[in-house]
Structure 1
């Protein structure tokens, strides 16, 4: 938790922003620090473990696990754009961030969010092919094609928020420059700008709507076909086995899209700082913490790979 300093001139100059943080209660400062430190270490350890095991195990070099490996890397990167700075602010009691540091944090966070939503849609398509067209899986989802989809997700992710970063960097900001959030995000930045932000809001809404709706539509259509195929399976055991291959991914999709839609798919007039901080915290912390557990660590092949890796380390 971050202490709200009443004197915003502390370690503050004309090129800095002051981040409000999560709480102004001093008694929550150090407990909050240790909680977020443990969460951050869990995120790094969990996702780095998944990435390493898949990378080092040739048996897991299949499309599904290539997407998982990229998803773990995305979670590490975008969490690392927020939590280390948050921990530093709690520890040093200095809630300032430079102008360009703020723009960079916003850009990288949006880039990773975009890459993640595209990777999740690619995973949905992969599950669709595996369940609905198992005999054609190798030809439809080759390693080359899956790698190309992963590269495309990263590329679009880095390109998409570049316009936001350029436009926001040209805005004028009010004297206080107090960001009522715990990191630099688009909507809190627009709220403190003294310039006309309609252009940035329009681009944010249009680009966000296009990418989110396209990825969501692909995911939705994939699951419609998946569910219709599973229902047609005669044995209950077969239906359960087929559904288990995509249930964890579906859980991640619901959490991810739910928080993203609550945060970004609405005008700034409906912005409520306390509510949005909570939703952003779920998105920034809950999703990357849960991904290794509800998606990867429940997979038997991943568990077997961990056991083999553990045996090798013991020798």
Structure 2
């Protein structure tokens, strides 16, 4: 009984030598069996084979009708449509108290927009900005839920508001001081105040502020005169009462956005010149 393990080991060795001395196809069969057995014992190899054997998803090619729709959408200007991926489920969760307030029509005629820019900026004013920027500058965030872009960043981060305020301040500084023709007050101790050219304009801002020159009402009136109220894109909260809906603030933001867009497109010098010649002179500065 003690020699049985040795005999079995010897028999296994002989069987292996017999298989290895077989023809080439038998050797290949042995290698295939050994490799498959090794892979079956390795859990990582089994996982790899399972992943490789899984069918890959077939990418669906768009139909000719879908390709034509995508091509037409890319051909349209960005300001004229809402991107498909930004559209909602087709219904609104807001409960409208008065359905009549949901009806409001905005301008979509580029000729009216170009005419407004010509009245505001002068001859060839519509050529100062690209088409997309022209429409973006007159688009309020209430229009189409802001999905087509809006002009808030042009008005504030584009320095349109700051440029108008700076030019109003400069205008105050170069104007003669109020009451400069009056005789100075006689000092009881016969003292003479210190005079210097650099201090001649120091007290002008105490009698007049930049916001007095470019008030919201004045800027809104200028916007209405050039036709900005007819082409601006927004959705008033109460279409029957535009004043309470905030049209004054909306028009001011649009004017600041136009100045900010000109500053980013042509530089600060051009924007300052436009403010001096086309805005401050019209508001009575």
Q: TM-score, normalised by structure 2?
A: 0.25
Q: TM-score, normalised by structure 1?
A: 0.24
Greater share of helix: 1
Higher Cα radius of gyration: 2
